[in-house]
Each structure stands twice: as C-alpha cells, then as structure tokens.
Chain A
C-alpha cells in the first residue's frame, strides 16, 4: 500500500490506467444500454416499466459501494495519514451523491406506476435518503474550515460514523415491512431474477463501477495538481 502513497507514482499509474478505463466504461455502458432497452424482455407483471431496474439498481449499488469506499479511505487517512486517502474520499463523495440522487429519482419514477405512490417514508427509502444527506454533510464539512486538514479530518469522522447506515439500508427490506421488494440478486441461495434480465443488469452495474473508477482517478489527479499549484503559489510569494 505504501508504494502508492507517493503522489508522483500515483500520477504516473493513474495516467496509464485512465485511457483503458475510459474505453471500458464507454463500451460497457453502451452495451448495457442496448441490452437494457432492446434485448431484455418486458416483465410479465410490470411490462416495460421493469426497464427502470437497469438504472435504478446499479445506481443504488454504487450509492452504498461508494460510501463504503469513502469511509474506508477516511479510516486510512485518519489512522495512517496516507497522503492520498483524504483526497480519494473527498473526490469520491460528490460522485456517490450523484449516484444516490439517480437511485432516489429513478426509484420514485418506478414507485408511482407500480406502488401507486412517488414516495413512502418506509425503512428502505428513508435510509437511502439519509445516505444522500450523509454525502451532502460530508462534502459540506470538508469545506467548512479555513484549514483544509481540519476539514478533512472532521468529514472523515462523519463518514466513519455514517457507516452504521449501510447495514440498515441493506437489511431494511428484511427487518421491517416495506413496499420495497427484498434482495433478488445478492441473496443466500442465488439470484431469483431471470438470466435474461440479470445479464443486462450486471453489465450495466459493472459499467457504472468502471465509469466511477475512471472519474475518481481523474478527479484525484485534479486534486493533486491543485495541491501542487497552491504549494507553488505560496512558495513564490
């Protein structure tokens, strides 16, 4: 791990990784979109409305996954003072908030035709909304101090405390009565979703992940350049 602590080495490595990641993201998202809209079948109960699943579920997975990454990077930043950790957490958070927003809006657009309501204050929907506010709080806290280091540390603590929300999101559909359906992919006994829908869904999900990875590397490069720029400016005056 320490080998990647060197920002110069990170710049070199991320520069090599970015082009293939960008191409892979474009191919996966293109293929996923084609499969989702043209190849996958309509559902026998939900008809064509089921196609919302191909943006709703990948963005929901990303919402939790990115939060776990923000929290893990925050731990690394607080405990080992790894120079890239806080940068990774702070650059990942706005992307996570974006995915959570997609999840909430697409879920609402799916809820209206299927449940007859845009929104209910049940466990799954409320806990994901809390996740969205955790992201916003994290981003606000990073910028709330004149001293950047203090902002990074305060936000990192918030991110770590907020991890308690992740199992609540995951198990909310089992612990409480909710309109939201229980897990149909990551469950004991294997997926209960038909293969003709599972494959487009997985390709789309991997596309979302690679897209996120490419953007995160790009944003971390930007943050490192900004840091260097500040150092140069302060050094010059």
Chain B
C-alpha cells in the first residue's frame, strides 16, 4: 500500500493529476444534476398554477 501510494517517487505529480480530473468531472456532474432538478421542480410548480385568462377551445 505504501509503495502504491508513493508511485515510485512521483506521488506528488500522479495523485494531483487524478485528483483534478476527478474533481472537475464530479463538479460537472453535480452542476448538471442540480440545474436539471431545479428546472424540473420549477416546471412542475408552474404547470400546476391555474391560468385564469386562458380558455380551452370548445
């Protein structure tokens, strides 16, 4: 485990590279999911509002 984490002396280059990739990709996923859920919530709220001036065609 120690040797694995040490990455042959390159730990301070290898792990930050993987960390940046992981953080950026998780941030993209989180932001996309957050805006998706917010839009879905707002749309549901808007569609349940009554439209007093709109009438259906007979």
Contact = CB atoms under 8 A, between A and B. Distances in A.
Contacts of A124: none
B20 A106 contact: yes
B10 A229 contact: no
Contacts of A222: 32, 35-36, 39
A219 interface: yes
Interface string A45-70: 00111011001100100000000000
Contacts of A106: 17, 20-21
A39 to B, nearest CB: 12
A216 to B, nearest CB: 9
B24 A98 contact: yes
A225 B40 contact: yes
Interface string B7-35: 11110011011101100110111001101
A226 B39 contact: yes
Contacts of B9: 47-48
Interface of B (DSSP majority class): helix
B8 A48 contact: yes
Task: Classify chain B: how many residues form its interface, as a range.
Answer: 20 to 34
Residue of A52, A211, A221 contacting most chain B CB atoms (<10 Å): A52
Interface in A219-233: 219, 221-222, 225-226, 228-229, 232-233
Contacts of A225: 36, 39-40, 43
A52 B14 contact: yes
Task: Classify chain A: how many residues form its interface, as a range.
Answer: 35 or more
A114 to B, nearest CB: 9
Contacts of B36: 218-219, 221-222, 225
Contact of B43 (A95, A229, A235, A236): A229
Contacts of B35: 219, 222
A228 B45 CA distance: 13
Interface of B: 4, 7-10, 13-14, 16-18, 20-21, 24-25, 27-29, 32-33, 35-36, 39-40, 42-43, 46-47, 49, 51, 54
